[in-house]
Amino acid sequence: MAILIHCPWPNATVWLDRLRAALPDAEIRVWPELGAPGDIDFAMVWKLPPGVLSTLPNLKGVCSLGAGVDHFLADPDLPPALPVARLVDPLMADRMAEYVSGHVLRYHLRSDDYAAQQRHGVWERLPQKDAPARTVGILGLGHLGTVCARQVSGLGFRTCGWSRSAKQVAGVETFHGTDGLASMLRRTEILVCLLPLTAATHGILNAGTFGQLPQGAALINVARGDHLVDADLLAALASGQLRGATLDVFRDEPLPAAHGFWRHEKILVTPHVSSLSEPATAAVILAEQYHRCRRGAPMRDLVDLSAGY
């Protein structure tokens, strides 16, 4: 039997080397070199072309090479009974927490405002809150969201978190459901999006959401570009409802050269770097998932396909 790999990243060679080292006795096939489709019983992929998985008659399980799984859900031919697992790597969570905390601090310390003053040669001390007087709201309390919420809380900020269903996180005030979302947004000065992309969350970063935040709030989106309504963000920045936005994810990636986000003085663009998968640690986790699947044990971190995460 064989494993199918699809890694469309510049460091694909590193991924293959690490996976081969972690699975020295396994046959690894790299898309599009399928060979005999019936030989493939496991897949480790990122954004495999739709329809491919349905052509593999003996496929027992599939793992994502990243934290997101919306690329599986976008495949209309995805076999409904196929076990699908997300990649849950503590190193990726640490990287995400560092990114989020760094940009929360950037807005808290008004580094963006001082950078604007520098561009105009202005020497002026701005009013500054202390961290316990500043509320940070986290949309999404999955694995990454929970780690980020704990770290932001550890920095001393009043930290809130919202999820679809009720959750408890030490040091974090949690909300859930439609009413809970409105309650959290009303007090949130820095909003961080870490939601999974589903039909219910598509476009959730919109004018209605921004309008419920206190005037002058900031946005950090590290989830998916399709969570954001681009035109609504630009309008909120123009009106002063939002002071700034840090965007690591976009509807089209790479972000097109002509896109207005590149040149907007209140938007910081980063090239989807907030939580990069690390081949060295991920390969060990993926190898364990493969062995569990081959011996008939359930994989860890399975996706609920009906819920979308």
Q: Which amino acid is at 43?
A: A
Reported pTM: 0.96
Confidence band of 58 (pLDDT split at 50, 70, 90) = very high
Q: Are residues 29 and 98 in the same domain?
A: no
The total domain count for the chain is: 2
Q: What is the mean pLDDT of residues 207-233?
A: 98
Active site residue 106: no
Q: What's the Cα-to-Cα distance from 63 to each of 13, 107, 297, rounded to whole Å?
A: 18, 36, 15
Residue 5 is predicted with a pLDDT of 98
Q: Are residues 227 and 285 in the same domain?
A: no
- The share of the chain scoring above pLDDT 70, in percent, equals 100
Q: Are residues 102 and 185 in the same domain?
A: yes
Residue 282 is predicted with a pLDDT of 98
Q: Are residues 135 and 35 in the same domain?
A: no
Q: What is the mean pLDDT of residues 76-86?
A: 96
Catalogue the long-range contacts made by 112-115 (C-beta closer than 8 Å, 24 or more residues apart).
112/243, 112/244, 112/266, 112/268, 113/243
| φ, ψ (nearest 5 deg) of residue 61 | -170, 160
Q: Are residues 164 and 209 in the same domain?
A: yes
Query: Per-residue b/e over 39-66, b at no fewer than 16 CB within 10 Å?
Result: ebbbbbbbbbeeebbeebeebbbbbbbb
Q: Are residues 139 and 257 in the same domain?
A: yes
Q: 116-152: per-residue pLDDT in tens?
A: 999 999 999 999 999 999 999 999 999 999 999 999 9
Residue 189 is predicted with a pLDDT of 98
Say if residues 205 and 225 touch (Cβ distance below 8 Å).
no
Task: Say yes or no to pLDDT of 171 above 90.
Answer: yes
| Residue with the two structure tokens 């009043």 | 158
CATH code of the domain containing 184: 3.40.50.720
Q: How many angstroms separate the first and last alpha carbons of the chain?
A: 29
Task: Say yes or no to pLDDT of 267 above 90.
Answer: yes
Say if residues 157 and 108 touch (Cβ distance below 8 Å).
yes
Q: What is the mean pLDDT of residues 31-36?
A: 96
Residue 308 is predicted with a pLDDT of 87
Find the catalytic residue in 272, 291, 292, 294: 272
* Residue numbers of the domain that contains 181: 90-269
Q: What is the mean pLDDT of residues 52-57?
A: 98
Task: Say yes or no to pLDDT of 70 above 90.
Answer: yes
Q: What is the mean pLDDT of residues 73-77?
A: 95
Residue 47 is predicted with a pLDDT of 96
Residue 192 is predicted with a pLDDT of 99
Q: Are residues 25 and 126 in the same domain?
A: no
Active site residue 224: yes
Q: Are residues 76 and 116 in the same domain?
A: no
Confidence band of 63 (pLDDT split at 50, 70, 90) = very high
In-domain check, residue 306: no
Q: What average pLDDT does the chain have? A: 97
Residue 306 is predicted with a pLDDT of 87
Say if residues 267 and 237 touch (Cβ distance below 8 Å).
yes
Q: Are residues 59 and 133 in the same domain?
A: no
Q: Are residues 243 and 288 in the same domain?
A: no
